[in-house]
Amino acid sequence: MISSFFQHLLSLLLLSTFFFYLSTASTVKRPSNNSISALFVFGDSTVDPGNNNNLRTMVKSNFPPYGKDFVDHKPTGRFTNGRLATDFVASYAGIKDYVPAYLDPTLSTEELKTGVSFASANSGYDPLTPRLSNVISLPKQLEYFGELKERLEAAMGKQKTDEIVKKAVYLVSAGTNDFIVNYYALPIRSTIYTMPQYQQFLLQNTKQFIQGLVNQGARRIVVIGLPPMGCLPIVITLNSGTINRNCIDSELTVANDYNQMLQKELQAMQSQLAHQNVAIYYVDIYTPMMDMIRNPQKYGFEQSNIGCCGTGLLEETIMCNPRSTVCSDASKYVFWDSVHPTEKGYYLIFESLRPVVDSIIKS
């Protein structure tokens, strides 16, 4: 009787694991009537597949145990154990299995024309944020996109390049470093701005960046909101230590308020740019991440307030390294290190992006 029960339980566990990896496989079927030519990505470590590998900065992840569950267990520079949400988006849209880093010197014209990521870990909307760790600012990322267009025009002509640019999707994910590093941790901006003033400052920079994308030809722009910053393991550790592992309410409020303001600003921009056939989409990742963190068992997680790497309390980038201890099953953790989600966490974030991708495909 007991043996039969455990055999049945083991079968269920194996089936659930099989279906999870089946659903997240890179061979996700391309939706019909796809009208997306490419995926171009801008932002920070949440969408950086390895641009920082080619920079003189300490903010890198091109070493184990990063990439532990990626193809061939290869550390690519992605700040997780496997794929990012943008990899799942590209695969789902039938564009490519993985979004490469623009600064990868081996990229072919085929890779360039179907999309790359210009994102750089530790970057942000505040121009001071990327300077703190010598990474790529958002304006520089936009310059790189202009450079990419020139390379495509030289290879395939202006008409084909313009068609790719027009039908591409542009995804932007940034802002967390501005608050966590620039305002709270150091703190630098807090001596100049009140929190409401800083939020408005970032919103203005965000709008300026989006307008820059439009000026470069972007017509379908996806903007990712802030995550629940107060629940990141590193934020919990720095504010309340290692025993009381509750989320920090004040930082949750800041993120939630900012997201609401961001939505309103994007709606206003959408109205102003409608005559140019520009569509701006806001994606809420705060809500699904909060649900993962507060109801981990619902998604098969066992840990939601520490990372898989090391103690899970403070480790990220060089502190999560080949000498670090690593949990045996990253799919049981919401977070890979003290800041970034696991591949499974990113897949669930992708699920929040999927309706937007479907909407763009049908438009």
Is residue 229 within 8 Å of 253, Cβ to Cβ?
A: no
DSSP-based three-state secondary structure for 236: helix
Annotated catalytic residue 69: no
Tally of CB atoms within 10 A around 159: 8
Q: What burial class does residue 343 get, using C-beta atoms within 10 Å of its C-beta: 0-12 exposed, 13-18 middle, 19+ buried? A: buried
Taking the C-alpha atoms of residue 72 and residue 74, their distance in angstroms, rounded to an integer, is: 5
Peptide bond before residue 196 is cis, with ω within 30 degrees of 0 = no
Whether 73 is catalytic is no
Q: What is the CATH number of domain 34-362?
A: 3.40.50.1110
Nearest to 48 by CA among 145, 226, 173, 133: 173
Q: Residue type for 266, please?
A: L
Annotated catalytic residue 137 = no
pLDDT averaged per 10 residues, the chain (length 363): 36 37 44 79 98 97 98 97 98 96 96 97 98 98 98 97 97 98 93 97 98 98 98 95 89 98 98 95 98 98 97 97 97 98 98 94 86
Catalytic residue chosen out of the listed positions 37, 338, 340, 352: 340
Tens of pLDDT, residues 193-219: 999 999 999 999 999 999 999 999 999
CB-based contact 188:240 (threshold 8 Å): no
pLDDT at 32: 52
- Reported as a single tens digit per residue, the pLDDT across 87-125 is 999 999 999 999 999 999 999 999 999 999 999 999 999
User: Among 48, 126, 178, 337, which one carries the catalytic annotation?
Assistant: 337
Lookup: tokens for 41: 């990505």
Annotated catalytic residue, options 45, 91, 120, 133: 45
